Amino acid sequence: MLSLQLLHQPLQLARLELLVLDLPQKASFASGIGVRMSRKALIVKWIDAQGVEGYGECSCRPDPYYSEEYLDGALLLVQRFIVPQLTRNTNLLAILDLLRRIRGWNFTKAAVEAAAFQVARTLSGYQLSQDLHASPIDEVPVGISLGFFKDKVEAYDKVQSAIAEGYRRIKLKIGPNVDTAVYEHLHPLFLDHAVPVAFDANGSFFANDLDRLGWFVDAYDSVIEQPLPPDRFDLLLVAKARYPKLRVCADEEVTCIGDLLKLHALGAIAELNLKPGRVGGIAQSVEILNDCRARGIPCWIGGMFETGIGRVLNLEFARFLPEAKAHDLSPSSRYFIEDIITPDVEMDAGLVRPASYINYRARADIMQRLQCARYTYDY
């Protein structure tokens, strides 16, 4: 639960804006989900009667291949089931109540919650540390997630440069059809254990692919993120029995605290990649983070190629995970030709300082240039 002071902070919604943006990426990115060339984002902007503004980002994909949500659907959901139910005089508690009635659509609900949250925290002086019961760290270690490679040479170059740039963890996308020779070729780069390596299969291994999964377990003693489809915990248990060394990080599979507790009870989760959007937003993330700490489940913050708006919120959560080796929160320059906040998120020797970005300004000029659609609702 978020603190009552924050939940009851009076909000006066003057206008809600929904912005659909398309940010060109620096490079395309391929994974077990598909290939992406640009980052489509739905930004929710809350304008309070006192002039305070709040932004939230819906970071689901444009297609339903990571989760059921997809961007055009998200927009329609907000327009049909959220916009008509918001009222001028409200508070975060009322907003969470109306969002809770909507089943699923976590990334979408998180965007609306984040926009209202930003206004409520500005008006009330709230700090996340009040509910996470810890003091935040100032420097957050970050890792990089690298997509499928064309060949050995490209793989070696990309991993070597990422290590040279200072990233604290290299995450490699894998799938049942990747060429294992490429990953064998990378082995020497990780032998000294200076920079840990992890794999992410995005749920792409099925029952017939367990041998191939076993290759990664044997070749590298590394965590594998979401090896099996998120709705097949039965296959996960089969794989764990066959490869006792298999250590699994959950991503797609954990959309709520119940999913986490189920995997934990089954002894089938070694760590959690927490994406605040995937679990429905800030209130849910606070509960999950507190629960991970209570149960000793290692946790780190993941990403969905967020723009600066979503990234800064994710970075704030990362401040409360002092034991995490690295988060999937690379600097703005890694992803986009231009980000939509100022200052850009920067990394120095694999570290990001989240406090520098909490009071970011959204770049209205850039957003306008990248805008595909804009809808406004006055209250």
Residues that bind ligand OSB (CB under 6 A): 66, 145, 200, 202, 251, 302-305, 328, 330
- Judged by beta carbon distances under 5 to 8 A according to partner kind, the member of Mg ion, ligand OSB, none in contact with residue 336 is none
Minimum distance of ligand OSB from residue 226's CB (angstroms): 7
Phi and psi of 107, rounded to 5°?
A: -65, -35
The 10 Å Cβ neighbour count of residue 110 is 31
Q: Which is nearer to Mg ion, 198 or 210 (CB)?
A: 198
Binding partner of residue 304 among ligand OSB, Mg ion, none, CB under 5 to 8 Å per kind?
Answer: ligand OSB
Q: How far is the CB of 114 from Mg ion (least distance, A)?
A: 21
| Secondary structure of residue 101 in the 3-state scheme | coil
Kindly state the tokens that stand for 124: 């009330």
Which residue's CB is nearer to ligand OSB, number 86 or number 162? 162
* Helix (H), strand (E) counts: the chain: 14, 16
From the list 55, 131, 66, 37, the residue with the least C-alpha distance to 312 is 55
Could you tell me the smallest distance in angstroms from the CB atom of residue 84 to Mg ion? Answer: 34
Residue 251 or 271 having the CB closest to ligand OSB: 251
Q: How far is the CB of 202 from ligand OSB (least distance, A)?
A: 5
Burial class (CB in 10 A: 0-12, 13-18, 19+), 256: middle
Minimum distance from residue 200 beta carbon to ligand OSB (Å): 5
Residue with smallest beta-carbon separation from ligand OSB: 303
Distance of CA 262 to the CA centre of its chain: 21
Of 226 and 284, CB closest to ligand OSB? 226
End-to-end CA distance of the chain: 28
Cβ-count burial of 52 within 10 angstroms (0-12 exposed, 13-18 middle, 19+ buried)? middle
Contact 95/116 with Cβ under 8 angstroms? yes
Distance of CA 193 to the CA centre of its chain: 26
Whole-number minimum distance, CB 249 to Mg ion, in Å?
Answer: 8
Q: Which does 305 bind (CB under 5 to 8 A by kind): ligand OSB, Mg ion, none?
A: ligand OSB
CA angle 369, 107, 104 (to 5 degrees): 145
| Least Cβ distance, residue 331 to ligand OSB (angstroms) | 10
Longest dimension (CA), the chain: 60
145, interface contact from ligand OSB, Mg ion, none, CB < 5-8 Å by kind: ligand OSB
**C-beta of 183 vs 305, nearer to ligand OSB:** 305
Q: Residue 260 or 304: which CB sits closer to ligand OSB?
A: 304
Sign of the torsion angle spanned by Cα atoms 241, 247, 253, 257? positive
The answer to whether the CB of 286 falls within 8 A of the CB of 258 is no
Indicate the residue among 200 and 316 with the shorter CB distance to Mg ion.
200
Residue nearest to Mg ion (CB): 251
As given in the structure block, the two tokens for residue 53 are: 């503004």
Using the minimum distance from each CB to ligand OSB, give the nearer residue, 121 or 278: 278
Task: Point out which residues bind Mg ion (CB under 5 A).
Answer: 200, 225, 251
Sign for the CA dihedral angle at 283, 284, 290, 293 comes to negative
Distance in angstroms (rounded) separating the CA atoms of residues 343 and 349: 18
Closest to ligand OSB by CB, 113 or 251? 251
Distance CA 130, CA 304 (A): 27
Q: Residue 367 has which token pair?
A: 């957003």
CB of 227 closer than 8 Å to CB of 246: yes
